[in-house]
Chain A
Amino acid sequence: MSDTLTTATAAPKTGRAVRHRGIHRTHWGATGILILGALYCVLPALWVFIASTKSPGELFTTFSFWPSFTGGLQGNVDGLLAFGDQAFLRWALNTLLYAGLGSVLTVIISASAGYALAKYRFTGRELLFRIILAGVLVPQVTLAIPQYLLLAKVGLTGTYWSVLLPSLISPFSIYLCRIYAMAAIPDELLEAGRIDGAGESRLFRSVALPLMLPGLITVLLLQFVAIWNNFLLPFIMLSDSDKYPLTVGLYALLNQGASQPALYTLVITGAMLSILPLIALFLLLQRYWRLDLLSGGLKG
């Protein structure tokens, strides 16, 4: 690879001449590496799509990477949608509810907290921030049963809120909002607003939020994906399979008991159908994935 690099630049020292000549020559080394990387990442996911075209008999007998054209896909999709009285559709709608509503609420809460942490100096600010960040250190497995028992005392287990509420606390989102608020909102603007007599909440709504919007959309998307793919929390909290999100529903299909075989074809088909919306989300909203927030305000 270094050969390619040096040959490409083994020209006279004038930078401009090199670039003009090079514009029509593809950097095959780098392109090759990227293509290999993309193949590594895409092929296993592609397997899911191919495997979902196979009927139960074919899944374990035919070559994995050759799709089946004998109507297996239709059969699987039908079987999946019919399973448990259209359970799959319910799961999909539940996931949409948890991820959609959850991400919107998280953004509101995190923007509010991030703004406060970024733009105000108050006692305990750094301590609070560190405590919030320390929250990511506690694994969900540890919190699961205590959270369940506590929610049971207020009668909220098994409800939609039992999955929504714990999802709303996202130290990562607060961190991102703080970084973005620091970078995007000039102090002078807030001062000017205060001099004009605006109240704090008015400042937040009219000045801070619009400026933070691009970052907030990124936080929204990140949290949407995180809640969509969350498994352990709804697994613990929910007992009624009507409220399951897709992850837990598909897992339940896998674990039907010693005397029931795992419904692999249904799980694979379900997985395929549940990945599709996220892929669409990525493709359509590419320009909103402003993850430069994460590099810690480098642009400042």
Chain B
Amino acid sequence: MSETKTDAAQELAPPRLRGGRRPRARHARSAPYWFMLPAMALFTGFLLVPIIYATWLSLRASRRTGGGILGQRIETFVGLENYSRALSHPELYASLGRMLVYGLLVVPAMLGLALLFALMLDLPRVRMRSATRIGIFLPYAVPGVIASLLWGFLYLPRVSPIRRTFDAVGLAPPDFFGPTSIFFSVANIAVWGGVGFNMIVMYTALRAIPTELYDAARIDGCNDWQVAWRIKIPLLQPALVMTGIFSMIATLQVFTEPQTLSPLTNVISSSWMPLQKIYTDAFVLNDIYSAAATSIALAGVSLILSLIVLTVMQRRAFGENK
């Protein structure tokens, strides 16, 4: 580093107001890059390079060339063939449609419930605040695979306590694995797992609202409902946007829940959601090339969608307006 000696000299010299600015600028210019280095190195190595490699893979395929009845499989360049096959498969669009339905169920339900619980926690004179808060946060401790398995047990009629409870009361139990109810069943697992975390996010944001605002509102005669509607929810906008964005990203990547439930029922195929199709291509059909092509296509769509949403919401979400 050629700047070393100059830096040392500047450190020892008495500070000069005017000249002092320039050595500070020189320190500052490369320091942030050094701070960023480990993160950028890891990012490049484990995100960028694999993405580039996946893109390269998406242009290739394993094809049989001569050599006996079973042939020899060689990896060859196939151009955009993988993309055209993936994008012309109606199943892909069907899965995208299902993902949309799933998202429309999950995001409002999860955020709505989280908001409701957060508002309830923030009200005065509420009992058992601590216990219920921990209780609602509990599913965060359960990994996705286990959560899906345990809900699978709760959904399957013969082993389900839900069904036994309905039987005891004399009502017909709901069929959790029907062609439409399956969306609710899968969405429920995601909501169950995520509502606690989102609730805490919103609750801590609520706690940060200065109480003077409430006093002023009360003096004006607002009841609790109006306080919530007129003051709390608007001030929660950043939190709502943040949790909304992360919920949408999670929806785009839904995989664990349907994949774990698939063997238990006849209504979830191996490509029910887009990421399941990618997994099936890569790990069941041993065709990482098609999987790569579908992934890149999907990632492109996600990226465009997210950029749109982020640009629109940027100022509210990132608090960059000082």
Q: Which residues of A contact B (CB under 8 A)?
A: 2, 5-6, 8-9, 13, 15, 18-19, 22-23, 25-27, 30-31, 33-35, 37-42, 44-45, 47-48, 51, 59-60, 63-65, 108-110, 112-113, 115-117, 120, 122, 125, 128, 130-139, 141-147, 149-150, 165-166, 168-169, 174, 179, 182, 194-195, 197, 199-201, 204, 225, 228-231, 247, 250-251, 254, 267-268, 271, 274-275, 278-279, 281-283, 286, 289-292, 294-300
Contacts and interface: CB of A to CB of B under 8 A. Distances in A.
Contact of B42 (A63, A168, A268, A282): A168
B54 A143 contact: yes
A9 B224 contact: yes
A25 B127 CA distance: 10
B195 A41 contact: yes
A238 B64 CA distance: 30
Contact of A44 (B136, B154, B236, B242): B154
Interface in B242-301: 242-243, 249, 252-253, 255-256, 275, 278-279, 282, 288, 291-292, 295-296, 298-299
Contact of B207 (A38, A132, A292, A296): A292
Given A41-B196, A63-B161, A142 B141 contact: no
B283 to A, nearest CB: 8
Interface residues of B, number: 115
B132 to A, nearest CB: 4
Contacts of A296: 238-239, 241-242, 316-319
25 contacts: A8-B223, A8-B224, A22-B125, A27-B125, A34-B129, A38-B132, A45-B150, A63-B164, A64-B159, A113-B35, A117-B36, A138-B299, A142-B295, A143-B46, A143-B54, A145-B288, A147-B46, A150-B49, A165-B45, A166-B46, A169-B42, A169-B47, A195-B15, A231-B256, A278-B141
Interface stretch (B87-95, B114-122, B175-183): B114-122
Contacts of A229: 141-144
B9 interface: no
B208 A194 contact: no
Contacts of A297: 238, 319
B32 A125 contact: yes
Given A33-B116, A250-B146, A254-B149, A120 B31 contact: yes
Nearest to A134: B303
Contacts of B243: 294
